Amino acid sequence: MSATPKAAGGSSDDHYSYRHYADAGVAEGFDSLRFGGPIGRYLLDTQQRILLDALAPVTGRRVLDVGTGTGRAAIGLAQAGAVVTGIDASAEMLAVARSRAASAGVTVSFERGDAHALPVATSSVDAAVCLRVLMHAIDWKQCVAELCRVSRWRVVADFPALASFAALESGGRRVANMLGAHTEAYRVMSERDVAAAFAVRGFRVVAIRRQFVLPIALHKAVGQLGLTKGVESALRSVGLLRLLGSPVTMVAER
């Protein structure tokens, strides 16, 4: 999900996180790529449960979904009774989001905007949600600052953990980028660093959820939900989810 059309301090049109999602084909195929198949649907359901738990009770809450992409999180929150605005850099992704919301029969306000400088008044929403954005953003700390600025209560953000198998994939993508390949060379992040960025803005971490030990791409390649649940349950039982779980969803409160 893309973050912004322009980063604070200058143009970012050449950054992969903007170029990649400013493509109608990518936007149309995003949901299938990310949430298709049994593992993708499980990932989406898990994401939805985490959000609803973090923002409970959801009904009537004003929620800003930053980097909304095709609007999956925004639509799910709206279905649960929240008043949702979704912001994204990509007009192409937003077009898909509007179509998805109409098909779902829910009302979500979708706007094009900049995660580094949100077009939203200070403390004007109850909560801000930011999924799969910090890992791609040019200046992730500035994005955290903006999320905290606009939210009067909570911020929910996720990121791939530094201490996880995602670090291997991230490193591989960065090498591929240096060799000229067109890849999304996302960053992995430490929980300590993200929590510190929230603390600077007056927010404390109140909950952390980790989803998988093994890479999501591996689970998708196998495509057996029962096997995924069994393996991940076994790894969790010996404490590996706590040590190596990723992505991490962090809930911070003012």
For helices 140-150 and 191-200, angle between their N-to-C axes, nearest 10 degrees = 50
114 in a domain, yes or no? yes
Q: Which of 63-77, 105-119, 157-171 has the lowest mean pLDDT?
A: 157-171
Quick check: is 146 in a domain? yes
Please compute the mean of the pLDDT values over residues 72-82 and round it to a whole number: 97
pLDDT of residue 217: 87
Domain assignment present for 153: yes
What pLDDT does residue 7 have?
Answer: 40
- CATH number of the structural domain spanning residue 212: 3.40.50.150
Q: What is the pLDDT of residue 163?
A: 86
For residue 99, which phi and psi values (nearest 5 degrees)? -65, -40
Residue 139: inside a domain: yes
CA distance 100 to 130: 19
Residue 55 near residue 82, CB atoms below 8 Å: yes
Burial class (CB in 10 A: 0-12, 13-18, 19+), 66: buried
Q: Distance between CA atoms of 134 and 200, rounded to whole angstroms?
A: 17
Domain residues for 24? 6-253
Tokens encoding 50: 């985490």
* Domain presence at residue 192: yes
pLDDT digits (tens, 9 = 90+) for 6-43: 444 344 557 777 777 777 887 888 778 788 899 999 99
CA-to-CA separations, 240 to 7, 122, 217, 235, in angstroms, rounded:
36, 39, 18, 5
Is 34 a domain residue? Answer: yes
Number of H helices, E strands in the chain: 11, 9
Taking a C-beta distance cutoff of 8 angstroms, is the pair 213, 244 a contact? yes
Give the pLDDT score at 6.
45
Domain count of the chain? 1
Q: Is residue 1 part of a domain?
A: no
For residue 108, what are its two tokens?
Answer: 């979500």
Sign of the CA dihedral running 189, 47, 17, 149: negative
Residues, the chain: 254
* Nearest partner of 54 among 192, 208, 199, judged by Cα: 208
Q: Which residue has the tokens 């076994």?
A: 234
The mean per-residue pLDDT over the stretch 105-116 comes to 96
For the chain, what is the mean pLDDT? 89
Establish if 110 belongs to a structural domain: yes
State how far the Cα of 110 lies from the Cα of 99, in Å rounded to an integer: 11
Residue 59 tokens, joined: 């009904």
Token pair, residue 14, equals 């050449």
